Chain A
Amino acid sequence: MNRLLMGLKRHKLLSLAAVAIVVVVSVAIFAPFVAPYSPDVQFPNGISDMGSPLPPNHTFPLGTDLLGRDLLSRMIYGARTSLIVGVVANFIAVFIGTSLGLVAGFSRGILGNAIMRFTDLMLAFPALILAIALAAILRPSLWIVILVIALVNWTWVCRVIYTQTTALIEREYIEAVRSLGASPMRIMVRHLIPHLVPTIIVWGTLGIATAVQLEATLSFLGVGVQPPTPSWGNIIFENQSYFSTAPWLVLAPGFAIIVLALSFNVIGDALREMVDPTRKGRT
């Protein structure tokens, strides 16, 4: 009975997370139709007589920002940025991590060792610091941010895939296809990758949460997506100084970041439990 209740609760959280992701994705795709205004228009009536941002009201549902732009519209377009960066950066990271981990685990020897030592080396850098250093020398833009996030996030995927590959190639069926004369390429693509797909999906989901947060943090520090292109992180960066008088400018995008990252984490975690039944009910 207790178990059932727990399952239901879990389900509720999962469906909430799924709904949140669907909402953010559709809002991002249909931004021009959903957003009440353009994200870049500075409304003369969007600024109070004192020159400060307006609190939420009938014309501007979430209020306006420091330049008199509609916050809701900026956040809707910002969802595009956050999702594009999160999904694309993580896709690249998972691709790099999987390829390197697979090759390292399959070939072992000098090549495999070299790859894994390099991975350890990259893991020695704190992700945020390395990302800042990279962004600082490369002049930030949307694509640079995506690249930088991918470059600091592939290491974990590589470690996990490597460990799994080394376990897989000990199996008898691999020995069988090898003795049948299959080429290394064929073994990797046809016989190893299908077994790694669940892991790739789990990391593909959990990694989006990390990438979304990293983008927001870089943008908040001013080395991420550059204004006027809105992103949830740089909305906070731009409006930080109005925080005491206009807290909604920081709280609304902050809440959005947490909800999106939380949703991907909840779903990724549930997927991990499905993939790895030994962990069910624990941790």
Chain B
Amino acid sequence: MIDFQLSKTEQAAREAAHFIAEKELRPISLECDRTESIPDSFFQRMKRIGATRTPTGTGEGRRWSLLGVLASEETAWGDAGLATGIPGPGLAGPPIMAFGSDEQRKRFLSIYEDEQPRWGALALSEPGVGSDVSSIATLAKEDGDEWVLNGQKHFITNGARADLVVVFATINPQWGRAGIRPFVVPKGTPGFTVGRIEKKLGLRASQTAQLFFTDCRIPKDHLLAGRAFESMAGFKAAMGTLDATRPMVGALATGIARAAHEVAAAWVRDELPQGYPFSRKDAVVEELEDLGARIDAARLLCWRAAWMADHNIPNSKEASIAKAYAGQLVMQVTSAAVRIMAPADDCECKRLVEKWFRDAKVFDIFEGTAQIQRLVISRRMFGDAGPKRD
């Protein structure tokens, strides 16, 4: 039956995430943005509290996607850049969960249970491969008991600090998407080096790295090849990963939008300058009202996509809708907030709003651009009559 009531566990998880966002993330948000880094003390505290970015349990009956979406919105309300730095398997979690064997899941994910803060990363993009995942050039060659990786990845969140990276590479470039496989590469593997850490428009506290693989040898059993393994497994793994992560990315965008909306609405309510024209105030109030409703809609779209994932209902279209809607909305909300608060005196709130505006843009770009989401949605709508892959 159609129901929007969170369970007690979900409600508690959401409140815990909000508490952490408010007490731990928001206070250091501007400083970390300025220094483009996150202090070690933050990681230690997150580890001690037991905060994790992506719940990846295997327990039956738990709604892991929904929990991930709830936590994502709250932490992004605190700071989306810091949220990406919270220790845990991160984006490496979903492909390992979805495509690793039981033994591989245990082997790779158990390291996240020890005392040290640890991270995971997902390496999909390359300098020449953005939206077009099927033309991945990073090559994996079989050599005895090992795979040998050669290639370059970029835009890798937590790439320099990740304890393991799930790398998508091709075992045969002639096969196109059928040749793509996911490999687990541990930090410190000879031949695996980290290049430049990118300077960005926003999300500056988040670490975005270039990764190089030069004759990088990993054991055979680092190829994620669980039950779902078949000829298309690699591509499916990549796409399946996106179906699982897009609702969470949408929820991060929703969290930023909500934060910016809150601050702008409070400013309009309490701090409008003397003599601000009534007509202009009415227009602003109406704009915020409209955006507020759309933020609620974005949240519900993310919840729906996560709910489908938790119930094993195919959700490519709905995941893309959630991500596209929220990604577009967060730009609208943050740019409106910057414009609305322009008359405000210099204050922390104003700086936060301007930071969120810079942070927002990437949500229309990563995990599939706005255009790629529309491709996914329209292909689901039209099937063979939809936009073609050439």
- Are A and B interaction partners? no
